[in-house]
């Protein structure tokens, strides 16, 4: 089916950079300005209103320092004004001070529990930190309240996708088709989620649309290659990635995906070289170090692998995979307590991954904690059985790492 799609006449184009600029990843932070002032003496209330307006004006003009000072004064005079906390959260988000932003938004949500924008921002803060499980609850509440919210629904669908909950991901993302079916990233995630959920019809429709939208752009070849990776057709995936790299050798994540293709073809030296190339272009992407560490593991260079996994964790402590990789290395070194600590972290980040649960069960057994080990191994088998019920090939399939989907 993929070959048939690739041979179709393609009628429209949409560059990935333009798509990303237009898409949900270029979020405009939700500002909550409409809040009621509680009763205060006239002079004090006038001061609060004036400070609030000053803060609004400064925030609109991008003067975060002045805006923060104004809103801080507001909450001193009126500590129950939700809008001031919300705007302080927005300021912290723009500075990428995620824990501080979350604290302000949670206070705003406590004071104004029905304000949808605050819930959306809480979900966005969790998403930006890679806390996809935690983001689901606030985003789900927004979607329940406002089913047509593009941002909340897209984010919620991605959170389900990244936590390997493929049926909810597809059910959440499919209604966005009328508005997002020209977005190549959306089409890729929808097709990949549908594939992993066993929804062949939707997968085919999304892939056909991806070909129609993508034309012969490098970005299109990149995403089509990822679709082939999902189908475990590694030769065709490699061919598409090579076309993308020939057209644009500096295309973001093209060498990362070439590395994935070579990994699946068990050419670990070639994979190592591609991940190194992508690190040279994108030195801050944690997944590059994670996959490079995996390549080193297969090359039996455990010292280098451990360094890479720790480098990945340093850049993104909320990425489960390097904790898992490091845990396996420590298990091999018979450092079972240290291995268990890494596997505990991986499990908290991705509790429904049966590979993590299985290896954790093995380590618990080595530590003599037989009852816990048996429970963990039993739970791992249960997760796998449930996946196979959804898709009979689930035990042969692995979600393809997609850092380009969450990058801005």
Position 23 scores a pLDDT of 40
Q: Cβ distance 240 to 275 under 8 Å?
A: no
Give the pLDDT confidence score for residue 105 in this predicted structure: 96
Residue 66 has pLDDT above 80, yes or no: yes
Question: What is the structure's pLDDT at 44?
Answer: 56
Q: Would you state the structure tokens that stand for residue 339, as one six-digit string?
A: 């291995």
Question: How far is Cα 289 from Cα 263, in angstroms, rounded to an integer?
Answer: 14
Question: Can you give the residue ranges of every domain in the chain?
Answer: 28-129, 215-406
Domain formed by 28-129, architecture: Alpha Horseshoe (1.25)
Cβ within 8 Å of residue 114, ≥6 positions away: none
Structure confidence by residue, pLDDT tens digits, 375-390: 999 989 988 888 777 6
Confidence check: pLDDT of 10 > 50: no
Q: With left for phi above 0 and alpha for psi between -120 and 50, is residue 61 left, alpha or beta?
A: alpha
pLDDT at residue 125 in the model: 94
pLDDT at 25 over 50: no
Residues 6+ positions from 2 with CB-CB distance below 8 Å: 207, 224, 227, 228, 231, 233, 236
DSSP state of 137: H
Q: What pLDDT, on the 0 to 100 scale, is given for residue 230?
A: 85
CATH 1.25.40.10 at 215-406, yes or no: yes
Cα distances (angstroms) measured from residue 205 to each of 174, 183, 210: 11, 14, 9
Residue 19 predicted with pLDDT over 50: no
Please report the pLDDT score of residue 119 as a whole number.
95
What's the CA gap between 19 and 15, in Å, rounded?
6
pLDDT in tens, 142-195: 999 999 999 999 999 999 998 889 999 999 999 999 999 999 999 999 999 999
The answer to whether the predicted template modeling score (pTM) of the entire model surpasses 0.85 is no
pLDDT(207) > 80: yes
Q: Which helix (H) or strand (E) holds 230?
A: helix 218-230
- Taking only the tens place, the pLDDT of each residue in 68-108 is 999 999 999 999 999 999 999 999 999 989 899 999 999 99
pLDDT at residue 406 greater than cutoff 80:
no
pLDDT at 394: 54
Give residue 318's pLDDT: 86
Closest-CA residue to 202 (of 232, 236, 229, 171): 171
DSSP code of residue 62: T
Kindly report, residue by residue over 344-366, the tens digit of the pLDDT: 999 998 888 889 999 999 999 99
Burial class (CB in 10 A: 0-12, 13-18, 19+), 11: exposed
End-to-end CA distance of the chain: give it in Å, rounded: 31
Half-sphere exposure of 84 (CA within 13 A, CB side): 24
φ and ψ at residue 242, rounded to 5 degrees? -65, -35
Do 28-129 and 215-406 agree at the fold level?
A: yes
How is residue 23 annotated by DSSP? S
Q: Which tokens sit at 204? A: 């085919």
Burial class of residue 17 (count of CB atoms within 10 Å of its CB; 0-12, 13-18, 19+): exposed
């Amino acid at each position: 089916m993929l070959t048939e799609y690739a041979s179709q006449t393609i009628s429209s184009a949409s560059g990935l950079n333009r798509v990303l600029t237009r898409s949900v990843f270029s979020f405009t932070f939700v500002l909550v300005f409409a809040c009621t002032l509680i009763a205060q003496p006239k002079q004090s209330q006038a001061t609060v209103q004036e400070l609030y307006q000053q803060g609004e004006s400064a925030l609109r003009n991008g003067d975060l320092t002045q805006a923060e000072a104004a809103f801080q004064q507001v909450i001193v005079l009126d500590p129950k004004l939700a809008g001031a906390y919300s705007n302080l959260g927005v300021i912290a988000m723009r500075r990428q001070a995620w824990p501080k932003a979350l604290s302000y938004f949670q206070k705003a949500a406590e004071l104004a529990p029905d304000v949808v924008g605050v819930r959306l921002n809480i979900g966005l803060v969790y998403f930006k930190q890679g806390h996809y499980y935690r983001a689901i609850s606030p985003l789900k509440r927004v979607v329940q309240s406002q089913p047509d919210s593009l941002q909340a629904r897209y984010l919620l669908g991605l959170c389900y996708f990244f936590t390997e909950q493929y049926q909810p991901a597809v059910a959440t993302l499919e209604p966005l088709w009328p508005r997002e079916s020209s977005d190549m990233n959306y089409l890729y995630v929808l097709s990949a989620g549908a594939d992993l959920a066993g929804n062949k019809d939707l997968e085919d429709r999304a892939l056909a649309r991806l070909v129609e939208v993508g034309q012969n752009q490098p970005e299109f070849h990149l995403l089509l290659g990822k679709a082939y990776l999902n189908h475990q057709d590694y030769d065709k995936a490699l061919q598409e990635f090579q076309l993308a790299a020939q057209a644009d050798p500096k295309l973001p994540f093209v060498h990362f995906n070439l590395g994935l293709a070579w990994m699946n073809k068990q050419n670990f030296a070639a994979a190592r070289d591609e991940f190194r190339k992508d690190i040279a272009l994108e030195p801050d992407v944690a997944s590059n170090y994670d996959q490079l560490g995996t390549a080193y593991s297969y090359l039996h260079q455990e010292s280098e692998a451990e360094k890479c996994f720790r480098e990945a964790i340093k850049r993104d402590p909320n990425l489960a995979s390097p904790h898992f990789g490091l845990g396996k290395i420590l298990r091999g070194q018979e450092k079972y307590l240290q291995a268990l600590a890494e596997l505990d972290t991986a499990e908290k980040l991705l509790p429904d991954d049966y590979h993590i649960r299985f290896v954790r069960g093995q380590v618990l057994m080595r530590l003599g904690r037989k009852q816990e080990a048996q429970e963990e191994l039993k739970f791992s088998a249960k997760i796998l059985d449930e996946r196979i019920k959804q898709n009979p090939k689930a035990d042969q399939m692995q979600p393809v790492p997609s850092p380009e989907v969450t990058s801005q």
